[in-house]
Structure 1
Amino acid sequence: MNQPKEVRTGGRSARVQESIHSAVRQLLKEHERANVTVPMVATLAGVTPSTIYRRWGDLNVLLADVALERMRPDTEPLATGSLRGDIQAWAEQYLDEMNSEPGRNMMRDVQSSPTKGTCVQILGAQLRIILERHRGHVDQLPDIDRLLNVIVAPVVFRILFAEAPLTLEQLNEQIDLALGQ
C-alpha cells in the first residue's frame, strides 16, 4: 500500500504540494469525485502526473491526504466555561461537519488512506486541549480513548452506516455516558 512520503516543510516541495492540494479542492467543487483524475489534477496544478504518482502513488491516497489536511482544525475548541459544555460544543460541531456532504466524502477518502491513525491523532489533539483546559478544576477527567469510543465512534458509524446520523439528543446521551453522568 502506498503511503505519502515525508517531505520537508516549506520550500519548493511545500509549494508543489499546496498547488496539488488546491487543484484537488477546486476540481472536487466543479466535478463529481468519480470524474476527477490524476491528469486533471496535474494539469490544474501545473505539474506532471508522474509528480503525483511519485508522491502519493494513486488518486485515492492523494484524496485522503487532502481530506486529512482539511480535518486539521484552524482554531482551538470553543471554551464554554465547563468541561461538558466544551465537549458538547466540540461534538456538535464535529457531528455537523462530518454529516455534511463534504464531511461524508472526507471520511470515505480517509477510510482508504494508509494513514488512518492520523484521524485519531487529530481528534485526540482537540480533545486533549479541552481536557487540559479543565485539569485541576474537574475531579475525574475522562481519558481520550473513552471520548473517542463513546462519542466519536457512534457519530462516524451512524453517518456512514445508518439511515440517519445521531440526533442532538442521542449525542448528548453519549456525552453523558462518556463523562459518567
Structure 2
Amino acid sequence: MNERQPVRRPGGRSARVTAEVHRAVTALIGERGYGGFTVGDVAARAGVADSSVYRRWGNLETLLTDVALTRLDARSPMPDTGSLDGDLRTYAAQVAREITGPDGPAVVRLAVALSGNGEQGLKAGDELRAARMRQLQAVLDRPRERGEPAPDALDVLDHVLAPMYIRVLFGLVPLTPEYVDGLVDRLLYPRP
C-alpha cells in the first residue's frame, strides 16, 4: 500500500502563518509584556484561528519559545574573516543589530521571562542559551583550528554579550559600533 505523504512547500501558507503569528507575538510582547496576552490574542492579531495556533504549537509557552529561538538564533552564517579579532567583532556586531532591531528588545525580554517561568520556561531558557552557545562556539572553533588562541565561550558571554543584553534590557541603547568594539577589545587585549 502506497500512502501519500502531504507535500510541504517551503514558503506557502504555512510559512506565512508562522511569520504572521511570530509578528503578532513580538508586537504583543512589546505592548503588554510577558503574560499579558493569550493564544486568542495572538491568533486575532495574526488573523488566524486559535485552532491553527494550538495545532502548530500546542500552547502559548511553546509558541513563545519558538519565537524567541527563531529571533535570537540569528540564522545568519557565522563570520569567517580569517582572524579571531575579525570574527568576534563581526559576530558581536551581528548580535548587537539583532537585539536592538525592531523586535530585539521585546524578544530579549521574552527570553528572560521564559527562562524564569516554571519547568517549561526553564527548558526554553536552556534551549535559548544552548543555541547562543552553539553559535559562539562555532565562532571560536575556527580560530583554534588555525592555531590562534581563543577565549572560552563563557568569557565571551560574560565580557561581550552580557553587557549588550543588560543594556538592551535596561533601555541603555543604542549599542554603538564603538561600544561593541570596546567590549571585544577589553576581552582580547586586556590592559594590565
TM-based fold match above 0.5:
yes
What pairs with 1:23-102 in structure 2 (closer than 5 Å)?
23-28=20-25, 33-34=31-32, 37-42=38-43, 44-48=47-51, 51=54, 55-56=58-59, 58=60, 62-102=63-103
Aligned-residue offset at 1:117:
2.3
Distance 1:120 1:30 in 2: 23
Distance 2:185 2:103 in 1: 28
SS at match of 1:101: coil
Aligned-residue offset at 1:121:
1.4
Q: 1:95 to 1:50 in 2, by over 3 A?
A: closer
Q: Which runs of 5+ in 1 are unaligned?
A: 1-9
Q: Which residue of 1 aligns with 2:126?
A: 117
Q: Which residue of 1 aligns with 2:19?
A: 22
Do the aligned residues in 2 keep the contact of 1:155 with 1:165 (CA within 8 Å)? no
SS at match of 2:87: helix
What pairs with 1:130-141 in structure 2 (closer than 5 Å)?
130-141=139-150
Q: Which residue of 2 aligns with 1:4?
A: none
Distance 1:20 1:117 in 2: 26
Please report the TM-score for the alignment, with normalisation by the length of structure 2: 0.69
Out of 168, 184, 187, which is 1:178 matched to?
187
Distance 1:163 1:28 in 2: 23
SS at match of 2:58: helix
The total of aligned residue pairs comes to 168
Q: Percent identity?
A: 26
Q: Which runs of 5+ in 2 are unaligned?
A: 1-5, 9-13, 115-120
Please report the TM-score for the alignment, with normalisation by the length of structure 1: 0.73
1:106 to 2:103 alignment: no
Aligned-residue offset at 1:21:
3.6
- CA root-mean-square deviation: 3.5
Q: 1:75-127 CA distances to partner (integer Å, 9 max, x unpaired)?
A: 32121111110110110111112112301111111111112122221221112
Moved more, 124-133 or 157-166: 157-166
